[in-house]
């Protein structure tokens, strides 16, 4: 049995973004219950040289929508990265999930050898679809989802493995 490029990408992103929405909701509820300024959690970091919680959500969103688009041979949509509240971050996740729903398996399956060009800050990376998905997009996505989880957990939000993994 084989797994398709679509199955290895879009449903994975959707599931984890749904988990991220649950995690986000628990963070918002935690702040309200403990009368913590939500901005404290939104701008929380694990270490001073790491990106804050808000950027973890934005980058996870960007990675999911960008990967699906690139594998389908499309340009990814650009989001403004101007979220500053829990509801705005929840809306961004919902917008990304809605975008991912637009993809059909036929658009992504067979993209294993599709040329993917990523423009980074100071250089360009050229990969093929499967290499991009497995060695760059998925690890980057999971890194940022995990870091968002870790920031809130570090701040005392009651989260567990089930919140991260979600329901199959």
CATH number for the domain harbouring residue 104: 1.20.120.450
Domain presence at residue 107: yes
Residue 16 has a pLDDT of 97
Which residue spans within 61-163 are E strands per DSSP? 115-119, 124-128
Dihedral (Cα; 114, 120, 125, 129), 10-degree rounding:
-20
Closest by alpha carbon to 64, among 115, 99, 104? 99
Task: Give 119's pLDDT tier (boundaries 50, 70, 90).
Answer: confident
- Rounded to 5°, the CA angle 71-73-74 comes to 105
- Asked if pLDDT for residue 67 goes beyond 80, the answer is yes
**Is residue 139 one of the residues assigned to a domain?**
yes
∠ CA(20), CA(84), CA(37), 5° rounding? 90
**Residues 6+ away with beta carbon under 8 Å from 20:** 57, 60, 93, 145, 148, 149
Q: How confident is the model at residue 24 (pLDDT cuts 50, 70, 90)?
A: very high
Is position 111 within any domain? yes
- Full domain range(s) for residue 67: 10-158
CA dist 130 and 8 (Å) reads 10
- Residue 124: inside a domain: yes
Give CA angle at 56 (52, 59), nearest 5°: 130
Total domains, the chain: 1
């Amino acid at each position: 049995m084989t797994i398709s490029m679509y199955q290895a990408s879009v449903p994975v992103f959707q599931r984890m973004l749904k988990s991220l929405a649950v995690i986000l909701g628990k963070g918002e509820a935690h702040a309200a219950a403990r009368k913590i300024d939500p901005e404290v959690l939104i701008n929380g970091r694990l270490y001073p040289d790491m990106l804050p919680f808000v950027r973890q959500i934005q980058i996870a969103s960007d990675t999911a929508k960008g990967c699906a688009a690139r594998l389908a041979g499309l340009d990814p949509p650009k989001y403004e990265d101007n979220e500053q509240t829990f509801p705005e971050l929840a809306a961004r996740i919902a917008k990304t999930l809605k975008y991912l729903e637009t993809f059909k398996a036929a658009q992504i399956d067979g993209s294993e050898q599709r040329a993917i060009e990523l423009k980074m800050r100071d250089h360009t990376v050229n990969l093929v679809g499967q290499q991009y998905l497995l060695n760059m997009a998925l690890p980057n996505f999971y890194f940022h989802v995990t870091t968002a989880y870790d920031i809130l957990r570090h701040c005392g939000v009651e989260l567990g493995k089930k919140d991260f993994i979600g329901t199959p």
